[in-house]
Amino acid sequence: MFKTFLFLLFPILSLAQRSIEASAPKAVVYSGCTIPNTVALTFDDGPYIYGDIISQTLTSKGAKGTFFVNGYNYNCIYSRKVAARLQDVYNSGHQICSHTWSHPDLTKLNATQIAAELEKIDTALFKILGIKTNFVRPPYGSYNNLARQVASQMNKSFILWDFDSGDSVGATLQQSEAAYKQAMGNITIALNHETEKTTAMSLVEFAIDKFQEAGYKLVTAAECLGLDPYTFIGPPQQRDDTWFCPEKDDD
C-alpha cells in the first residue's frame, strides 16, 4: 500500500522496464495553433548561450516565445550558467517545454529508453524551474506510435511545427527571411533554433516585426493552442549534488 502510494507520488523515479499495450492511448500531436490570429515562435536545442538575447528581443517587442530544451545536448542543463540563463528565460514569461534529455531519434528507442529520455529532462525542469511541462517536441520531429504511447502515459502531448525557418540546416539569414515572408499567412508554429547565432541576432527580430505588422499576436505555444503549459508550477529547488549530467559535468 505504502509502496503504491510512493510510486504514484514519484512516477519520475520509476525507471523500471516498460511494456506498452498495442492499444494504449497515444499522445496528441499538434502542429498548428488553434486560436485564431496567434503565432508561436519556437526555439529548439537549448538551453544555450543565445537564450537571453532571444528572450530579451521577444520581451522588448511584447512577444512571447517557446523554448524546447534538452538536458544534455550542446551543454549540460545543470551547469550553473546554463541553469541560470534558463531561469531568466522562464522568469521572463516564455514557455519552457521538453525536447528530451539527449536529443535522440525516438523511433530508434524502446519504451524504457523513451521513458528515461522524457523523465530525465522532466526532473531537470522540475529542479531548475519548479515546473512540470505538458509538452514535448520529439527531436527531428521524429516519432512513432510507441513514442506517442509512452508520452501519453506521462500525460504529454507533442508539439511539432508548420513552418521551418531552416536555420539549423544551412539556410542563410536571407533565405530564412524570404521563407518567412513567403509563407506568412500559413505559419502558426515556427521552428527556429536557440543555438543559431543569426537567429538570435537578426532572424527573431525580423520575424516578430513581420508578424506584428501583419496583425498577429506572438504568444506561447500553449497559449496558441488554448492549453495549459504546465501541470505543476512551484518554486525551483535548491542546487544540490544531484544537479549534474552523467555525460559530462562541465560546471
Ligand X SMILES: *[C@@H]1O[C@H](CO)[C@@H](O)[C@H](O)[C@H]1NC(C)=O
Q: What residues are labeled active site?
A: 44, 193
> Which among 38, 92, 47 has a CA at the least distance from the CA of 68?
47
Which of ligand X, Zn ion, none sits in contact with 183, Cβ below 5 to 8 A by type? Answer: ligand X
Residue 73 CB, shortest distance to ligand X, in Å, is 20
Residue 112 CB, shortest distance to ligand X, in Å, is 4
Which of ligand X, Zn ion, none sits in contact with 138, Cβ below 5 to 8 A by type? Answer: none
Which of ligand X, Zn ion, none sits in contact with 175, Cβ below 5 to 8 A by type? Answer: none
Residue 238 CB, shortest distance to Zn ion, in Å, is 30
Residue 247 CB, shortest distance to Zn ion, in Å, is 17
Q: Which residues bind ligand X (CB under 6 A)?
A: 11, 17, 110-113, 155, 183, 185-186, 231
CB 15 within 8 A of CB 115: yes
Q: Which residues bind Zn ion (CB under 5 A)?
A: 44-45, 139
Q: Residue 222: CB partners within 8 Å, gap ≥ 6?
A: 66, 95, 134, 135, 228, 229
DSSP string, 157-223: EEE--SEE--TTTT--HHHHHHHHHHHTTS-SEEEEETT-HHIIIIIHHHHHHHHHHTT-EE--HHH
CB 146 within 8 A of CB 111: yes
Which of Zn ion, ligand X, none sits in contact with 235, Cβ below 5 to 8 A by type? Answer: none
